[in-house]
Structure 1
Amino acid sequence: MRPCVVAVSTISKVPVSSAALPNTASISNGLRAWPWYVLAIAVIGLDQYTKALATATLHYGQPLPVWSWFNLTLQHNTGAAFSFLSDAGGWQRYFFTAIAWVVSSVLVVWIYRLPRGHNLLALSLALILGGAIGNVWDRMMLGYVVDFISVHYQNSYFPAFNLADAAISAGAVGMVLDSFRVRSPADEQVIKE
């Protein structure tokens, strides 16, 4: 229960109880979620632009060294993030497409219902949403996901990835950081509704 604070209205000079004022931290984003959707669309656009640029300028499988630990290497990934299940035989295209659409739908609703002021979580969800749709677009249109970022240390290579994978990873880190945030009972009530 919130403490009752008495304020004076600047319009009518009548005392107003804080119990009558809405707790903005417990009001969901609703239509104010649009900046997070714009961010997700920007992630999709940047991801698709960089993939098109990589496809147009890089030769498949031939690394282009940028720094001693960083190459641009065009790869076609038929699996999930970081080439997981890429050798599974083709069924994974439909499986990962279906999962991505379900997750994306859940994220759209989650961002909409998220209480105002939960900016780190909203940012994280928007990054994951944009990354998921960026990769599912490739999977639906091409049958594979275009990867082109390759990092390594000496002869140990991390699986090639793209900006959508990076956005999903950054969003996941943001969600972990947000999980340490202290929540009010009002926030929890809005999330449950």
Structure 2
Amino acid sequence: MFKTLWLTGLRWLWLVVIISICDMYSKYWIMHHMFLHETYHFIPFFNLLYLHNYGAIFSFLSDQNGWQRWFFISITLIIVIELLMMMYCNHASNKIANIAYALLIGGAIGNLLDRIRYGFVIDFIDFYICRWHFAIFNFADCTICIGTILLIIKKFNFRDESS
């Protein structure tokens, strides 16, 4: 059975583990080295800004009374299960799709663990231009975006990867 799983996209689950660990460590470091709402200025367009996000992307639904926590946990679990099934159905040699799925799953698990443990997601990456600040995000959000971009590239790339 293990040999059969090794031939599927689940072979790339090691990447999910690495992403989840990096995300958890980065958030641990922020929580233990910064105060909530504290800003650390790096360079003219990048700060570390420690925030708690009770919503989703761009703080969507963050102003609700707590039901959104369980909603986002449920949605994330469904998405992770679906992506794992897609990896299982993929051949291991389908690298771009499997890496994209692993990036998505790893990022989703990182944010899921925050929601389960704390009821919010820890965000800290702040890019800005002059006074305009992009949404504050975290390492897991970066991997989710990269995974999505890879899937879009894969969708428009019609050559066979396995050859």
Task: Verify same fold: TM over 0.5.
Answer: yes
1:64 and 2:40 matched: yes
Q: Is the 8 A contact 2:10 2:87 kept in 1?
A: no
Q: Is the 8 A contact 2:54 2:69 kept in 1?
A: yes
Unaligned 5+ segments in structure 1 are 1-28, 188-193
Corresponding position of 2:112 = 136
Corresponding position of 1:31 = 6
Give, in whole Å, the separation in 2 of the partners of 1:183 and 1:101: 32
Q: Is the 8 A contact 1:30 1:113 kept in 2?
A: no
Of structures 1 and 2, the larger Rg is shown by 1
Corresponding position of 1:176 = 152
Corresponding position of 1:95 = 71
Q: Is the 8 A contact 1:59 1:74 kept in 2?
A: yes
> Could you report, residue by residue, the CA deviation over 1:100-127 in whole angstroms, capped at 9, with x for unpaired residues?
0010011111111113432111110100
Give, in whole Å, the separation in 2 of the partners of 1:105 and 1:158: 30
Deviation at 1:76, TM superposition (A): 0.3
CA RMSD of aligned residues (A): 1.7
Give percent identity, aligned residues only.
32
Q: Is the 8 A contact 1:31 1:112 kept in 2?
A: no
Q: Is the 8 A contact 2:11 2:92 kept in 1?
A: no
Aligned residue pairs: how many?
Answer: 157
Q: Which residue identity lines up with residue 31 of structure 1 in the other structure?
A: W
Instruction: With the length of structure 1 as denominator, give the TM-score of the two structures.
Output: 0.77
Deviation at 1:161, TM superposition (A): 0.5
Residue from 120, 126, 132 that aligns with 1:156: 132
Give, in whole Å, the separation in 2 of the partners of 1:113 and 1:183: 19
Deviation at 1:85, TM superposition (A): 1.8
Corresponding position of 2:91 = 115
Q: Which residue identity lines up with residue 127 of structure 1 in the other structure?
A: L
Give, in whole Å, the separation in 1 of the partners of 2:152 and 2:114: 27
> Could you report, residue by residue, the CA deviation over 1:44-80 in whole angstroms, capped at 9, with x for unpaired residues?
0000000000000112112100111100011000101
Q: Which residue identity lines up with residue 169 of structure 1 in the other structure?
A: C
> Could you report, residue by residue, the CA deviation over 1:24-49 in whole angstroms, capped at 9, with x for unpaired residues?
xxxxx833334411101110000000
Q: Is the 8 A contact 1:150 1:161 kept in 2?
A: yes
For residue 179 of structure 1, give the secondary structure of its aligned residue in structure 2: helix
